[in-house]
A = this chain, B = another copy of it.
Amino acid sequence: MTIYYLEDLETRLQEVNDLNSANAVLSWDQSTYMPPGGAAARGRQMATLSRLAHEKFTDPEVGRLLDQLRPYEESLPYDSDDASLIRVTRREYERSTKIPAEFVAQLNEHQAESYQVWTEARPANDFKRVQPYLEKTLDLSRQLANYFPGYEHIADPLIDFADEGMKVSKVRPLFAELRAQLVPIVQAFTSQPVADDACLKQFYPESQQLDFGLEVIKALGYDFNRGRQDKTHHPFMTKFSLGDVRITTRVQERDLGDALFSTMHEAGHAMYEQGIRLELDGTPLAGGTSSGVHESQSRTWENLVGRSRDFWSFFYPKLQAAFPEQLKAVSLDTFYRAINKVAPSLIRTDADEVTYNLHVMIRFDFEIDLLEGKLAISDLPEAWQARYQSDLGVRAPDDRDGVLQDVHWYAGNIGGSFQGYTLGNLLSAQIFEAAKRDQPGISSEMREGRFALLRDWLTQNIYQHGSKFTANEVIERATGNPLSIGPYIHYLRTKYGELYKLV
């Protein structure tokens, strides 16, 4: 009987996965190639697939099968595929069945509409236009959290969706500690000349930028037999199966760094997915385990690898060969300082490694204040400006580069949307340190343009497991320690101490 139950469950999960994967294809097409006339029907098609996937996943028969499979699960080792499948499915089932289908539909519809309005309001610098949508998003976010009563803080269920096991009472002290460490580092920069990144702001033709980016991520280990890259307005990674994990990028011809680092970033996300054991394909285990762990991998390949001196000691001559006119007179050292320029800025996604987390914390704090009712949506633009002034010493000329800059609140929830970015940065350093401890040859291999030691270690310790383990379990298993800020601070101090005089 057990085999029958398990097969029945797997068949149902496969069907849900097929619907969700199909939806991901529709979404990818929407961002890449869909003509404008396709928009209305596409929204409806995606809503239908979402609804069917939700209906099928929350079918009471799934719950009964999970109950019937409990003795089997308990007879197996915790880390076996079957036990993990049953455990993770049960967790998601319990979560999904708490949210009424009508609410899911209402939320999806509102988010799609709100996103649409934001795409028009941002270029028009029109916060007033999105304000009522954002107010409804806040209401719906609270309502969503309230389907999970018994929380310590109303943001906790929303944070848990993205970063299971995390909650306000854990994130807050972590962020406070990080902040205490970061602020003096940031202040140290304000008393010194800013690095000159003029070499990056020359004219770099799009097709050559794309070619170089592809060469780099091929070397990192992104598998083009199981993926591809297209252009979109905002870069992203998406997966249709473990055999088809795609990334997108965008190019600015007057900014060499934009496409290059976003390509490595998305390739990092994609390599995590491509590294999952193929046996898990089509199940709820075939995906990265949390927002933070996922981001740790994109940041590893973008920053710890892609902005390192080791990496560029190999790739810089190739970059010079690709862009001889622009770079022949620019030394590796100048280039390295340019791609690691630290300076307070307005836009999170353009921020350097040091100031980046201050951007994230501002958003995290606002999410808490909004959910608690301490801050009204109508006061958000001014609060945003005040906080940027006090934390980063900069003031956006208008809301476009202020409160309107990130898509998250306009297309998702308020709550749980941002902490993963900083958790990812912390984890990237902690994981990279563990990898180098186990495989001391990683750095020298990087200087030869090879990444197999690092990639294999990450695959072995993180990627292959998909979401069999929670973020906390993965971190402990991979590094031997729970999440901590030490390695990240050490990484920043070492790297930037060499570049700048730090206090």
Chain A interfacial positions (CB closer than 8 Å to B)? 14-15, 18-19, 21-23, 25-26, 29, 33-42, 44-45, 48-49, 52, 223-228, 230, 240-244, 246, 281-282
Q: How far is the CB of A10 from chain B (nearest CB, A)?
A: 13
B-chain residues with CB within 8 Å of residue A246 when the two chains form the complex: 35
Is A244 in contact with B25, judged by CB distance below 8 angstroms? no
- Interface majority SS on A: helix, strand, loop or mixed? helix
Is B26 in contact with A22, judged by CB distance below 8 angstroms? yes
Is A243 in contact with B41, judged by CB distance below 8 angstroms? yes
B-chain residues with CB within 8 Å of residue A37 when the two chains form the complex: 223, 225-227, 241, 243-244
Is A243 in contact with B25, judged by CB distance below 8 angstroms? no
Q: A21-B45, A49-B22 are in contact. Are A243 and B38 (CB under 8 A)?
A: yes
Q: Which of B41, B49, B244, B281 contacts A282 (CB 8 A)?
A: B41
Is B48 in contact with A18, judged by CB distance below 8 angstroms? yes
Q: A18-B49, A22-B22 are in contact. Are A42 and B240 (CB under 8 A)?
A: yes
Is B241 in contact with A38, judged by CB distance below 8 angstroms? yes
B-chain residues with CB within 8 Å of residue A281 when the two chains form the complex: 41
B-chain residues with CB within 8 Å of residue A49 when the two chains form the complex: 18-19, 22
Given contact pairs A37-B243, A38-B244, a sample of 9 additional A-B residue pairs in the complex whose CB atoms are under 8 Å apart: A35-B225, A37-B226, A38-B243, A40-B241, A41-B242, A41-B244, A42-B240, A42-B241, A44-B282
Is A33 in contact with B228, judged by CB distance below 8 angstroms? yes
Is B18 in contact with A45, judged by CB distance below 8 angstroms? yes
Q: How far is the CB of A273 from chain B (nearest CB, A)?
A: 12
Is B41 in contact with A240, judged by CB distance below 8 angstroms? yes
> Could you tell me the distance between the alpha carbons of A282 and B44 in the complex, rounded to whole angstroms?
10
B-chain residues with CB within 8 Å of residue A33 when the two chains form the complex: 228, 230
Q: How far is the CB of A193 from chain B (nearest CB, A)?
A: 46
Q: Which of B18, B35, B223, B240 contacts A227 (CB 8 A)?
A: B35
**27 A-B interface contacts by CB (under 8 A):** A14-B44, A14-B48, A15-B52, A18-B44, A18-B48, A18-B49, A19-B49, A22-B25, A22-B45, A22-B48, A25-B29, A25-B45, A29-B29, A33-B228, A35-B224, A35-B225, A35-B243, A36-B225, A37-B223, A37-B227, A38-B244, A40-B241, A41-B240, A41-B282, A42-B240, A42-B241, A52-B52
Q: How far is the CB of A14 from chain B (nearest CB, A)?
A: 8
Q: Which of B14, B38, B225, B244 contacts A226 (CB 8 A)?
A: B38
> Could you tell me the distance between the alpha carbons of A45 and B17 in the complex, rounded to whole angstroms?
8
B-chain residues with CB within 8 Å of residue A35 when the two chains form the complex: 224-228, 243-244, 246
Closest to A228 in B: B35
> Could you tell me the distance between the alpha carbons of A21 and B242 in the complex, rounded to whole angstroms?
24
B-chain residues with CB within 8 Å of residue A26 when the two chains form the complex: 22, 25
> Could you tell me the distance between the alpha carbons of A42 and B39 in the complex, rounded to whole angstroms?
23
> Could you tell me the distance between the alpha carbons of A263 and B228 in the complex, rounded to whole angstroms?
26
B-chain residues with CB within 8 Å of residue A19 when the two chains form the complex: 48-49, 52
> Could you tell me the distance between the alpha carbons of A235 and B19 in the complex, rounded to whole angstroms?
27
Q: How far is the CB of A198 from chain B (nearest CB, A)?
A: 34
Closest to A225 in B: B37
B-chain residues with CB within 8 Å of residue A36 when the two chains form the complex: 225-226
Q: How far is the CB of A218 from chain B (nearest CB, A)?
A: 13
Is A40 in contact with B243, judged by CB distance below 8 angstroms? yes
Closest to A224 in B: B35
> Could you tell me the distance between the alpha carbons of A240 and B29 in the complex, rounded to whole angstroms?
11
B-chain residues with CB within 8 Å of residue A228 when the two chains form the complex: 33, 35
Q: How far is the CB of A412 from chain B (nearest CB, A)?
A: 23
Q: A18-B49, A19-B48, A48-B18 are in contact. Are A41 and B241 (CB under 8 A)?
A: yes
Closest to A39 in B: B243
Q: How far is the CB of A23 from chain B (nearest CB, A)?
A: 8
Q: Which 8 A-B pairs have the closest CB atoms?
A: A38-B244, A41-B241, A37-B226, A37-B243, A18-B48, A18-B45, A38-B243, A37-B225
> Could you tell me the distance between the alpha carbons of A168 and B34 in the complex, rounded to whole angstroms?
41
B-chain residues with CB within 8 Å of residue A39 when the two chains form the complex: 243
B-chain residues with CB within 8 Å of residue A34 when the two chains form the complex: 244
> Could you tell me the distance between the alpha carbons of A25 and B277 in the complex, rounded to whole angstroms?
27
> Could you tell me the distance between the alpha carbons of A111 and B336 in the complex, rounded to whole angstroms?
56
> Could you tell me the distance between the alpha carbons of A40 and B243 in the complex, rounded to whole angstroms?
8
Q: How far is the CB of A350 from chain B (nearest CB, A)?
A: 29
Closest to A20 in B: B45
Q: How far is the CB of A472 from chain B (nearest CB, A)?
A: 30
B-chain residues with CB within 8 Å of residue A15 when the two chains form the complex: 48, 52
B-chain residues with CB within 8 Å of residue A226 when the two chains form the complex: 35-38
> Could you tell me the distance between the alpha carbons of A230 and B32 in the complex, rounded to whole angstroms?
13
B-chain residues with CB within 8 Å of residue A18 when the two chains form the complex: 44-45, 48-49
